[in-house]
Amino acid sequence: MNDNLETDFHTENIPSTMTTEISHPDDFYKMAFQFQRIMMVYESAIKQIETKLDILNKEYKISGNRNPIQTVKSRIKSPDSIAKKLEKKSLPVTFEAMIENLHDIAGVRVICPYIADIYTVRDILLKQPDLTLLEEHDYIENPKESGYRSLHIVISIPVYLTESVQNVKVEIQFRTIAMDFWASLEHELHYKNKAKVPDSVRRELFRVAETIAMTDREMQEIAFELRELE
């Protein structure tokens, strides 16, 4: 393959903004087509990650070994969420700014039974030669102030098109079942509750996060002890 065809996911020959007033229907069709194409590339990147995880899942089942993957979820950010995040970062609402600055347009979440499983699956994925680690944030070792725990990595994966290869960024979040339950509740409170969350509720959420973290560690220790009895 010609190395010149492989590039970072770019915005060549596309309209400069997603919010410009359209003066001609052809411009609207061009912009809509380009946005669809960009989203298709992100969706393709997600499918590749999901396929990798599905293969690992099946391999563990066939081998008879305990599976470190509980469930896998994925999502693409909506146009509204993309625009709001760009505005929050004081960036122009353009295709170029979206691709260059947002790392979580394509997102995959891996739910694992135990904390150790998170690092096991992370390590297996990052050994694959077509994945490049761009960023890593370990909120398990270093929880957020709210009590949020999760391991986030941003990777680049090549998506092969008819005439080029686009290196696309995907954020992968790893959580235990308990971490995911807590994070879903916190998200519900912060993003769907228009009123300011009272400090008393924040403190309670943090307390629950600490309890969950302790429970995660205890359950993992029990699982290790049971494994040694086999």
Alpha carbon distance 150, 111 (integer Å): 10
Query: Phi and psi at residue 74, in whole multiples of 5°?
Result: -145, 160
In this structure, what DSSP letter does residue 119 have? H
3-state secondary structure 101-126: HCCCCEEEEEEECCHHHHHHHHHHHH
Q: Which amino acid is at 48?
A: Q
Q: Which amino acid is at 69?
A: I
The two structure tokens encoding residue 164: 């080029």
The count of other CB atoms within 10 Å of the CB of residue 171 is 20
Q: Residue 105: which of 44, 192, 27 has the closest Cα?
A: 44
In contact, 118 and 112? CB cutoff 8 Å: yes
Alpha carbon distance 194, 201 (integer Å): 15
Q: Residue 177: which of 228, 116, 112 has the closest Cα?
A: 112
Q: How far, CA to CA in Å, does 73 sit from each of 32, 46, 91?
A: 27, 10, 29
Compute CA 171 distance to the chain's CA centroid, rounded to the nearest angstrom.
3
Which residues are catalytic, by number? 171
